[in-house]
């Protein structure tokens, strides 16, 4: 999922360079959402991984 967030961030940067600002805002929004979902899932997996080992 982090790979998808990075991909959309790269799309946003490239679109911003060429002046497609509508695509930039959409790609940045998608990248932010995917990054926060990845972050939440990462934290949850860390917590459940430690609980399972005990």
Better-scored residue on pLDDT, 27 or 2: 27
**What's the confidence (pLDDT) of residue 37?**
92
What does pTM read for this prediction? 0.66
Number of domains in the chain: 1
Q: What is the predicted pLDDT for the residue at 43? A: 92
pLDDT over 80 at 36, yes or no: yes
User: Does 23 score more than 90 pLDDT?
Assistant: no
Cβ neighbours of 20 (radius 10 Å) = 15
Burial 9-18 (b: 16+ CB within 10 A, else e): bebbeebeee
Range of the domain at 8: 2-53
Checking if the pLDDT of 8 tops 70, the result is yes
Phi, psi of 20 (to 5 degrees): -90, 80
């Amino acid at each position: 999922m982090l790979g998808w967030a990075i991909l959309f961030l790269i799309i946003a940067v490239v679109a911003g360079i060429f002046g497609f600002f509508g695509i930039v805002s959409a790609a940045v929004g998608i990248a932010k959402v995917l990054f926060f979902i990845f972050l939440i899932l990462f934290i949850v997996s860390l917590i459940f991984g430690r609980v399972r080992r005990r």
